[in-house]
Amino acid sequence: MFCVIYCSAKKEQTYLFVEKKDNFSRVPKPLLQQFGTPRLVMTLSLTDQKKLANADIDRVKR
């Protein structure tokens, strides 16, 4: 399972985890408005990860 991570243009240390690059269809519109323009941080394989720095990996997978 891959995960694409974006950082917020408006709020420092705020990140968004999505399944596919530039696909924000599952993100509620009010949240995207607060988040601002997403800036790509990285893409990673969650199957290779045991921990994420700022998020619960099981919650991200769900």
Domains with residue ranges and CATH for the chain: 2-61 (3.10.510.20)
pTM: 0.77
* pLDDT digit string, tens, across residues 11-45: 889 999 899 999 999 999 999 999 999 999 999 88
Residue 6: predicted pLDDT: 96
β-bridge mates for residue 6, sequence order = 16, 40
Whether 37 contacts 52, CB under 8 Å = no
In the sheet that holds 15-18, the strands lie side by side as 15-18, 2-7, 39-45
The rounded distance, in Å, linking the Cα atoms of 2 and 46 is 6
Residue 29: predicted pLDDT: 94
Query: Residue 6 corresponds to which amino acid?
Result: Y
Residue 48: predicted pLDDT: 64
Residue 49: predicted pLDDT: 65
